C-alpha cells in the first residue's frame, strides 16, 4: 500500500461513505482489516494500489460474495448497485476495470443477476454479440480428421493412441478441462498462436496431396523422406509411425492438378478450390472467395508449378477463421430490433458441437 506522500487526490460522496460505513467498515477498517483488506483509507493510497483494491471490491460486490451471506445486515439491490456504479465510474476513469473484461468470457456467464433477468424490468430484446468461439480440443481434432475425410474406423484408431491426435497437428489454444468451459470467446491472437496455425496448415496441406505425389515419377525421394520420420518397425502408412501417416486417397480435383503435365483450366482450379472449402469449412466458397482463391492458385502454379501451387492454395484456405473458430456472426437479414439470426450452418455447428463434440453431418448441414 502507498502512503499519503504519494497519494492521488481522491474523494467519496457522503452517500458512498454512508454505504461503506453500514456494510464494509465492520470488517475492513483500520482495526479489523479482514483478509488484509482495508477500505477506510482509499484516499491515501497511490493510484495503482487503489485501482487494484477497487477491482477486488467490485468483483466481490457483483457476485454477491460481500458482504458475507452470514451477515444479518445486507445491502438491498439499490444500495448494492449504488456502490457498484461508484466503483465502475472510478475504474472507468482510468480504463482499469478487470471485471468488465472477465464478464466477456463464458466461464463468468453464471454471474448474471437472475433476479434482475427474470423480474421483468429488462425490456430490451435478448441478443448475443457477434462472436468467434474457440472449439475444444476434441472438436478441433475432429475438424482435422474431417479435412482428410477419414472414416469412423480410422478416427477410432487415432483416438486409441495416447495423445489421440495426428502427429503433425497441435491445437493453437490450450483450454483447461477442469474449468468446465467448453469454448472461449477470444478476440486477440498472438504470435505463438499464429505460428502453430501456420505449422498445422503446412502439414495438413502436404498430407492432403501426398498420395497423388507418390504416383509421380520422382516418388522415391518422398518415400525416403517419409521413412526418415517413421518409428523403426512400423509400416509406412501406420498411425503408430507418427509423421509417416498420410491419407490413402487424394481428392480427385487435387490429384488431377498434381498429375497433369499442363496448366489447369479455370474450371479445374475452381473445382479444386470448392473441394478444399468442402473439406476444411464444410461449405462452398462464395463467388468472391472463389475468384480470390482461383487467382491465388493460378499465380502460385505459375511461380512454383502445379503441386507447390496447389499446396499454397490448400494452405491458405486452412488459415480461414471458419476452421479455427465456431462463428456466430449471423445472416444478412436484420429484424425490427436490429438483430440477425444465426445462419443455418452456424446453428448446425452450434447444435452438433453442444450435443456430441462432433461436426454436423450432411443432413444437419
Question: Where are the chain's structural domains?
Answer: 4-118, 133-356
Q: Does pTM surpass 0.75?
A: no
54 vs 156: which has the higher pLDDT: 54
Mean pLDDT along residues 282-306: 96
Residues pairing with 119 in the sheet: none
Window from 10-24, 41-55, 208-222, 245-259 with minimum mean pLDDT:
208-222
Which stretch of 29-38, 106-115, 194-203, 310-319 has the lowest confidence by average pLDDT? Answer: 106-115
Question: CA dist 240 to 159, 203, 222, 230, 247, Å?
Answer: 12, 17, 19, 9, 14
Strands 131-134 and 325-328: antiparallel
Grid coordinates in use for 165? 491426435
Please, what is the average pLDDT of the chain? 82
Residue 134 φ/ψ, nearest 5 degrees: -70, 140
Q: Grid coordinates representing 87?
A: 466503483
Residue 2, C-alpha cell as written in the block: 502507498
Q: Which of 30-44, 207-221, 230-244 has the lowest mean pLDDT?
A: 230-244
CA neighbor of 245 nearest in space, from 273, 203, 289: 203
Q: Is the pLDDT of residue 269 over 50?
A: yes
Q: Is the peptide bond before 67 cis (omega within 30 degrees of 0)?
A: yes
Lowest mean pLDDT among 109-118, 150-159, 231-240, 356-365: 231-240
Rounded to whole angstroms, how far apart are CA atoms 16 and 81?
11
| pLDDT(133) > 90 | no
Neighbouring residues of 297: CB distance < 8 A, sequence distance ≥ 6:
264, 269, 272, 273, 309, 310, 312, 313
Residue 313's SS3 state is: helix
Asked if 20 and 82 touch (Cβ cutoff 8 Å), the reply is: no
More confident residue, 256 or 93: 256
> Taking Cα atoms as reference points, which of 136, 202, 194 lies closest to residue 169?
202
Amino acid at each position: 500500500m502507498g502512503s499519503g506522500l504519494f497519494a492521488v487526490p481522491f474523494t467519496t460522496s457522503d452517500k458512498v461513505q454512508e454505504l461503506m460505513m453500514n456494510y464494509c467498515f465492520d470488517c475492513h477498517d483500520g482495526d479489523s482489516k479482514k483478509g488484509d483488506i482495508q477500505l477506510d483509507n482509499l484516499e491515501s493510497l497511490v493510484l495503482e494500489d487503489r485501482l487494484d483494491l477497487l477491482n477486488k471490491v467490485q468483483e466481490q460486490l457483483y457476485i454477491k460474495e460481500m458482504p458475507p451471506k452470514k451477515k444479518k445486515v445486507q445491502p438491498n439491490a439499490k444500495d448494492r448497485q449504488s456502490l457498484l456504479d461508484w466503483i465502475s465510474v472510478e475504474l472507468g476513469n482510468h480504463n482499469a476495470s478487470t471485471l468488465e473484461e472477465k464478464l466477456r468470457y463464458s466461464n463468468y456467464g453464471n454471474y448474471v443477476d437472475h433476479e434482475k433477468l427474470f423480474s421483468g424490468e429488462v425490456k430490451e430484446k435478448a441478443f448475443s454479440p457477434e462472436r468467434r468461439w474457440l472449439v475444444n480440443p476434441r472438436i478441433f481434432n475432429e475438424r482435422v480428421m474431417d479435412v482428410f475425410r477419414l472414416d469412423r474406423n480410422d478416427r477410432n484408431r487415432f483416438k486409441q493412441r495416447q495423445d489421440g491426435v495426428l502427429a503433425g497437428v497441435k491445437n493453437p489454444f490450450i483450454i483447461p478441462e477442469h474449468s468446465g468451459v467448453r469454448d472461449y470467446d477470444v478476440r486477440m491472437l498472438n504470435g505463438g498462436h499464429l505460428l502453430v496455425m501456420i505449422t498445422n496448415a503446412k502439414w495438413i496441406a502436404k498430407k492432403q496431396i501426398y498420395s497423388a505425389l507418390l504416383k509421380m515419377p520422382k516418388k522415391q525421394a518422398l518415400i525416403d523422406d517419409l521413412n526418415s520420420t517413421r518409428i523403426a518397425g512400423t509400416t509406412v502408412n501406420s498411425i503408430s509411425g507418427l509423421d509417416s501417416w498420410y491419407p490413402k486417397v487424394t481428392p480427385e480435383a487435387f490429384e488431377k492438378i498434381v498429375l497433369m503435365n499442363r496448366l489447369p483450366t479455370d474450371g479445374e482450379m475452381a473445382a479444386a478450390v470448392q473441394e478444399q472449402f468442402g473439406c476444411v469449412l464444410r461449405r462452398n466458397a462464395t463467388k468472391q472467395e472463389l475468384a480470390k482463391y482461383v487467382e491465388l492458385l493460378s499465380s502460385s502454379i505459375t511461380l512454383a508449378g502445379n503441386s507447390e501451387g496447389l499446396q499454397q492454395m490448400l494452405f491458405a484456405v486452412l488459415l480461414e477463421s471458419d476452421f479455427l473458430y465456431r462463428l456466430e456472426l449471423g445472416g444478412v437479414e436484420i429484424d425490427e430490433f436490429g438483430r440477425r439470426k444465426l445462419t443455418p450452418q452456424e446453428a448446425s455447428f452450434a447444435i452438433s458441437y453442444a450435443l456430441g463434440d462432433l461436426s454436423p453431418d450432411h443432413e444437419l448441414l
